[in-house]
Amino acid sequence: MAINYEEIMSLEEKNLELSYSQRDSIIYSLGIGLGKDPMDTTELKYVYENGLIAFPSMATNFQYKSPLLLKAKLNMLMVVHGEQGITLHQPMPSNADVFLDTRVINCFDRGESKGAIIETETKVRLKKDDSPLCTLISKTFARGDGGFGGEDVPASTPIELDSNPDIIHEVTTTEDQALIFRLSGDSNPLHSDPNFAKMAGYPKPILHGLCSYGVACRSIVEALCEKDSKKLKKFNVRFSSPVFPGETIVTEMWKKDDEIHFQSKVKERDKVVLKNGVCEIL
């Protein structure tokens, strides 16, 4: 079914209230593999109430709470998460009440056979003082909803990674990681049900894209921020291939002026799973 361009561009949702607790922060951190070594205090601070710190990429899970794109009447069986970015305006509290303002900011037509790209923006504010916490930009590939006569997606220039990376960091996921990560809000059976995964064309459940995103964010924080997540200011990436729980995610980083360019591969298959990565740190 083709998209109604005027209708989808008018979609917005203001002042959606959301509360998250220290327990939510801990579950998210466990979901991206933090806390495996309880003697490592640099990780313990993300999974223990005493001095708890929320890992910044957790904010991407706020998008699960907004039903905005459900109102667009998309073919949800053909919808995949294409890109995700976060800009942090202040450190994430370990628990907070927040407001979400979400709107569609772009919708591009790739043709009837290729679908559409829908870009949404979510601004997150702290309820206690209305101060901005973070801004999320997400691109969704609606593969079954093209051909509505809109503008094609603008040409983009891929980030050139034409030299050896300056830093390489790897994190091995666990076989049960998707089952833990789904507790943060994404209960899609593609990540938990072997039969559903096989119907979708995979030999077994795959890891959530936002879990791979969080793991790569871990690598940036550990390798470049002296394990201080409060130094992270911006983290943007494109999803290019799924990860299977138990595989090792290797993140390669290049220092480019005020930015860090990066990509992530699966070690066991030498497959790029996250590309066009750009982040900024203090």
Distance from C-alpha of 52 to C-alpha of 41, rounded to nearest angstrom: 11
Task: Kindly report, residue by residue over 50-73, the tens digit of the pLDDT.
Answer: 999 999 999 999 987 777 777 777
State residue 152's pLDDT score: 80
Is pLDDT above 90 for 13? yes
Distance from C-alpha of 241 to C-alpha of 149, rounded to nearest angstrom: 29
CATH topology of domain 167-281: Thiol Ester Dehydrase; Chain A (3.10.129)
Is pLDDT above 70 for 74? yes
pTM of the model: 0.94
**Torsional sign, CA 198, 178, 59, 221:** negative
Is pLDDT above 70 for 1? no
Q: Which residue has the tokens 């949800």?
A: 76
Mean pLDDT of the chain: 93
- The dihedral over CA atoms of 186, 187, 189, 190, expressed in degrees to the nearest 10, equals 10
Same CATH topology for 5-80+92-142 and 167-281: the answer is: yes
Query: Span 5-80+92-142: which CATH code?
Result: 3.10.129.10
The full set of domain ranges for the chain reads 5-80+92-142, 167-281
Task: Kindly report, residue by residue over 189-209, the tens digit of the pLDDT.
Answer: 999 999 999 998 899 999 999
Is pLDDT above 90 for 79? no
Task: Kindly report, residue by residue over 136-161, the tens digit of the pLDDT.
Answer: 999 999 888 888 888 888 877 777 78
Distance from C-alpha of 219 to C-alpha of 216, rounded to nearest angstrom: 5
